[in-house]
Amino acid sequence: MATDQQKFFMRQAIKLALDNVQNGKGGPFGAVIVKDDQIIASGANSVTRTNDPTAHAEVMAIRAACEQLQSFQLSDCELYTSCEPCPMCLGAIYWARPKKVYFAATKVDAANINFDDQFIYDEIALPHADRQIPFEPLLQDEAIAVFEAWTDSTQKVPY
């Protein structure tokens, strides 16, 4: 059962989503990132306002939190988001590595208002050439040489 504090943080994410809608700033999505029981960053969907298809609430919050913490990982943080993350945000969340994610609305709820990401999940499972946007390998050997340089580098910061 959710604690009052967890409900408070989720309501903050939901409030960001509602404010975004009411102010015409973007889609109905908000997110907050919490560390040590304090909100350290927040984000609201800014796709249409910024003409940036990656400006989803979770991504915006992750960027702000990482900047605040001067770290590319959020391992001691929790993410509260007004809706179950889309595939892009899910990837960003896994790269940021928060310790837990809470969400309110589901991806089915989002699909019901025309934010349907199922086609992305379906596309990921297809062979490259069968996708709606074809993916074609090119210069793999040259790219692998860069990977080898990374592997041999003494200046890298592993993640």
Report how far residue 34's alpha carbon sits from residue 98's, in angstroms, rounded to the nearest whole number. Answer: 10
Catalytic residue among 58, 78, 136, 148: 58
End-to-end, the C-alpha distance of the chain in Å comes to 34
Per the DSSP assignment, residues forming a β-bridge with 101 are 79
Identify whether 58 is a catalytic site residue: yes
78 closest CA partner among 102, 94, 108, 95: 102
Provide the 10 A C-beta neighbour count for residue 6: 15
Cβ atoms of residues 56 and 30 within 8 Å: no
pLDDT, one tens digit for every residue, the chain (159 residues): 999 999 999 999 999 999 999 999 999 999 999 999 999 999 999 999 999 999 999 999 999 999 999 999 999 999 999 999 999 999 999 999 999 999 999 999 999 999 999 999 999 999 998 999 988 889 999 999 999 999 999 998 887
Q: What is the pLDDT of residue 48?
A: 96
Provide the 10 A C-beta neighbour count for residue 47: 17
Q: What is the pLDDT of residue 145?
A: 95
Report how far residue 43's alpha carbon sits from residue 57's, in angstroms, rounded to the nearest whole number. Answer: 5
